[in-house]
């Protein structure tokens, strides 16, 4: 299961411009979904909701793989293919507070 999750995590990171690891009940994940919508990025952000994956052993292995890659055992964790950056909602909240969210998003997505 770990080898499959490792391979799938790598594939997902390469396949999607913006990959967000999420859980459906997570308020921080809902905040990020609002960010995608507000900045017109919802079609470019692929969301993996770990709690919606039927095979719970696979979901846990995938979650652990993303945590190993990112150094964060946190949702949401967001991977940006263009900039090879890994961020969480905490970054976005700080950028929003500082008034630089649009600028930082542009850097991450290289729009």
**Torsion angle of the four alpha carbons 37, 43, 49, 52, in this order, in degrees rounded to the nearest 10:** 110
In angstroms, the CA 55 to CA 57 distance is 6
Going through the chain in order, the beta strands assigned E by DSSP cover 18-22, 45-49, 77-80, 85-88
Q: pTM for the complete prediction?
A: 0.93
User: The domain spanning residue 80 has which CATH number?
Assistant: 3.40.30.10
pLDDT at 2: 61
pLDDT in tens, 33-57: 999 999 999 999 999 999 999 999 9
Per-residue pLDDT averaged across 3-11, rounded? Answer: 92
- In the chain, how many domains are there? 1
Q: Treating both helix axes as pointing N-terminal to C-terminal, what angle do 89-98 and 27-38 enclose, rounded to 10 degrees? A: 50
In angstroms, the CA 14 to CA 12 distance is 5
Q: Residue 43 belongs to what domain range?
A: 2-109
pLDDT in tens, 44-102: 999 999 999 999 999 999 999 999 999 989 999 999 998 899 999 999 999 999 999 99
């Amino acid at each position: 299961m770990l080898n499959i999750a490792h391979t799938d995590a790598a594939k997902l990171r390469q396949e999607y411009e913006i990959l967000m690891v999420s859980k459906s009940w997570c308020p921080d994940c809902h905040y990020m979904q609002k960010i995608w919508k507000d900045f017109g990025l919802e079609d470019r952000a692929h969301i993996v909701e770990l709690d919606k994956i039927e095979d719970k052993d696979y979901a846990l292995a995938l979650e652990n793989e993303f945590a190993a890659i990112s150094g964060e055992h946190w949702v949401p964790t967001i991977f940006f293919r263009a900039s090879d950056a890994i961020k969480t909602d905490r970054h976005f909240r700080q950028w929003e507070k500082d008034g630089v969210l649009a600028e930082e998003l542009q850097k991450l997505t290289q729009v």
